[in-house]
Structure 1
Amino acid sequence: MVFDLWKQIKAKKFTPIFLLYGAESFLINETKQLLISNVLSEAEMDFNLSSYDLEETAIDLALEDAETLPFMGEKRLIFLHNPVFLTSEKTKEKVEHNLAKLESYIKEPSPFTIIVFIANYEKLDERKKLTKELKRSASILEAKKLNEGELKAWIKERAAANDVEIDDQAAEYMLTLAGTNLFLLTSEIDKLALYCGAGKRIDMNIVERLVSRSLEQNIFTLVDKIIHRKIDEALRIFYDLLKQNEEPIKILAIITGQFRLIYQVKELARKGYGQQQIAGYLKVHPFRVKLAAGQAQLFGEKELTYIMKLLAEADYQMKTSSMKKELLIEMFLFRLKDPI
């Protein structure tokens, strides 16, 4: 778990080799910054911090740097980006790497250097000997998308780092409002902590008043109003989005995407798929699947098919007719009042 590795770094318990891999770039960047601030002082950074792109530079040069004594400090910190030799992804080889030398280094790393492999790849090639050696020797962060429980833990940890607490309900509501993007969540938590002040508690009311709604969240709320046939409230949200200069074609696309997700979740659940399986199959975050599953229960299949037909017609007319785009969405919302 990412928090365990971060605690290790903050306690200045460093291994000579770190391996950060995965598609969640925020976690990798946070870990990278944490290493810099805990390994080196500001004065040492100019002399003992290096970064190499292994798509452009041979590993030999980086290893020579690793074996050079640090200047004016105890540790040298070296970041190795794009270690193409750890993945099965097809890349155009620009340089030749002396992997035998790297294997030898992993077995006997320099005691005064910390090497950090940064691999923004979904997966590593576990069949490769080098990958196995690294996984045995390195401190590892698998930067994958966090599940709902991990996201809530993330919110609580980030709040604690800002010397505030957050209620369980408030943490879940923040996810509903701000979504699952860690960059946005971190920004929102930091903002709430600044508002509350050290030692205070973030509750539902504070989240409701201060957390910014993403466009997707506003659309999610709009869809929720549609589901409960609160068309007047749905129209108010739509007009607010127009005042924020959101394009009608973009609004329609996100509405369509949300209803398509509801339809797919309902159909896959009917076939016996669990929410985690559905998330993997549709390649969306499990938290979005959970929310869509709740909405799907309020629709019959015939009703959902009808709504998808209306959305397809609105999309076609928006792209081919001269009718005002705003009017097409209004017409879609009004037609939902008709019995199906």
Structure 2
Amino acid sequence: MTAQELESAIQKDRLPAVCYLYGEESFLIERMARKLLERAIDPSLKDFNCNVYYGNESKGIEIVDAAQTLPMFAERRAVLVKRAELLKADALETLLPYVRNPVASTCLIFTGLKIDQRKKFFLELKKLGALVEFKRLYDNKLPGFIAAEAVALGKPIEPAAAELLALLIGNNLQELSSQIEKLVVYCGNRQKITLDDVRSIASSSKAFDAFELARFLGTKDLRNALKSLDALFRNGEEIPLVIGALARHFRQLWRVRELLDRRVAQAEIGREVGINAYFIGEYLQQAKNFRKDELKNVFEGLYNCDISSKTGGNAYTLMHALVVTICTRAGA
């Protein structure tokens, strides 16, 4: 079963008796589990009809017992098993007969990071169509996610504004969702979220500082790049997140540089790399500041900085040296 199929089933009140939600995108998994619980049980009767277990603490039998218990004063009950990837082999064996013959009045939900389809338990779930994977969204899918979230909250967002928000926040759906909620409140009675709205809201966030640092590095503006770096450290930003944001930005510049060398048209470059037309001019200009060998050196510098910071190196000193190197010699 796909996530879209499960979403449709929930809307039609056709809840699965058993489902296993798994994958790298924990935000989407948790939200889907919450939707299932909200539709399965009456909130006023939650104490009577909802049980929550953890895979690292459960032997399986208590999960089966709870799932086989009839609902109290309601049509359905729900059983949620979190961190299900930590269920031991004997627990999975205990759960297998129930999965093959579940109680219709119970919605049994497993959530976990990964599965092992070599095991009978997961093979049975696959046969039943009860496995639902939530993959991490690629960067080019983020503006679409943002647009859908905004529409769901009753406030459409301009394509360029969605693109900027994706650039600022990156692949952190929890943070993206939070920023969209802030934007909806900020817009008040206005019909649409604009580019200026995103700039106004984001300018006070750490994500904006990381975006600004990437932009100043792309233009080799040493003075402002160092100012942005200082702002990030004052705000307590973690160095892996900063390096991740910079790596994402320079991956896009590398792709743009390759297409420029092939003399691809500007509009086609935007479509190929997934950059909104509003921003493509800036990316083209930044990409022209670097040769491909210089971009390779940038990535080597980011990698070395990441490794050194995790093995006792001073994070600020390392990042400061990296910024200076990119702006003056591009890592040569």
Matched, 1:111 2:127: no
Q: Distance in 1 between matches of 2:79 and 2:67?
A: 7
Q: How does 1:19-38 map to 2 (within 5 A)?
A: 19-38=20-39
AA aligned to 2:72 is: F
2:291 to 293, 297, 300: 300
* CA gap 1:215/1:58 in 2 versus in 1, 3 angstroms: same
Q: Distance in 2 between matches of 1:157 and 1:60?
A: 40
Q: Distance in 1 between matches of 2:137 and 2:240?
A: 29
AA aligned to 1:73 is: A
Matched, 1:204 2:201: no
Q: Distance in 1 between matches of 2:296 and 2:143?
A: 34
AA aligned to 1:146 is: L
AA aligned to 2:71 is: P
AA aligned to 1:112 is: S
AA aligned to 2:328 is: L
Partner of 2:12: 11
C-alpha displacement at 1:307, in angstroms? 6.4
Q: Distance in 1 between matches of 2:138 and 2:293?
A: 32
Tell me the percent identity: 26
Note the alpha carbon deviations across 1:305-340, whole angstroms, 9 max, x for none. Answer: 776899979x99xx899xx959965993797289x8
Partner of 1:81: 82
AA aligned to 1:42 is: P
* CA gap 1:92/1:336 in 2 versus in 1, 3 angstroms: same
Q: Secondary structure at the match of 1:151?
A: helix
Matched, 1:336 2:314: no
Q: Distance in 1 between matches of 2:249 and 2:66?
A: 50
Partner of 1:154: 145
2:246 to 252, 258, 262: 258
RMSD of Structure 2 on Structure 1 (CA): 4.3
C-alpha displacement at 1:257, in angstroms? 8.3
Q: Distance in 1 between matches of 2:322 and 2:16?
A: 60
Preserved CA contact (<8 Å) 1:170 1:207: yes
Q: Distance in 1 between matches of 2:177 and 2:239?
A: 26
Q: How does 1:1-340 map to 2 (within 5 A)?
A: 2-84=3-85, 93=88, 96-97=90-91, 99=93, 102-121=95-114, 124-197=115-188, 200-211=191-202, 215=206, 217-241=208-232, 244-246=234-236, 254=242, 258=246, 262=250, 266=254, 298-301=289-292, 303-304=294-295, 332=324, 336=328
Q: Secondary structure at the match of 2:91?
A: coil
Preserved CA contact (<8 Å) 2:78 2:107: yes
* CA gap 1:258/1:143 in 2 versus in 1, 3 angstroms: same
Preserved CA contact (<8 Å) 2:17 2:102: yes
C-alpha displacement at 1:207, in angstroms? 1.1
* CA gap 1:118/1:260 in 2 versus in 1, 3 angstroms: closer
Note the alpha carbon deviations across 1:197-246, whole angstroms, 9 max, x for none. Answer: 3672112111111125654652343233233233343344345446x355
Q: Secondary structure at the match of 2:126?
A: helix
- For this pair of structures, how many residues does the alignment match? 302
C-alpha displacement at 1:131, in angstroms? 1.1
Q: Which range is displaced more, 111-120 or 216-225?
A: 216-225
* CA gap 1:39/1:212 in 2 versus in 1, 3 angstroms: farther
* CA gap 1:202/1:55 in 2 versus in 1, 3 angstroms: same
* TM-score, L = length of structure 1: 0.71
Q: Distance in 2 between matches of 1:196 and 1:253?
A: 29
Preserved CA contact (<8 Å) 2:20 2:109: yes
* TM-score, L = length of structure 2: 0.72
AA aligned to 2:118 is: R
Q: Secondary structure at the match of 1:127?
A: coil
C-alpha displacement at 1:78, in angstroms? 0.4
Q: Distance in 2 between matches of 1:266 and 1:328?
A: 22
C-alpha displacement at 1:28, in angstroms? 1.4
Q: Secondary structure at the match of 2:90?
A: coil
C-alpha displacement at 1:147, in angstroms? 1.8
Partner of 2:269: none
* CA gap 1:298/1:13 in 2 versus in 1, 3 angstroms: farther
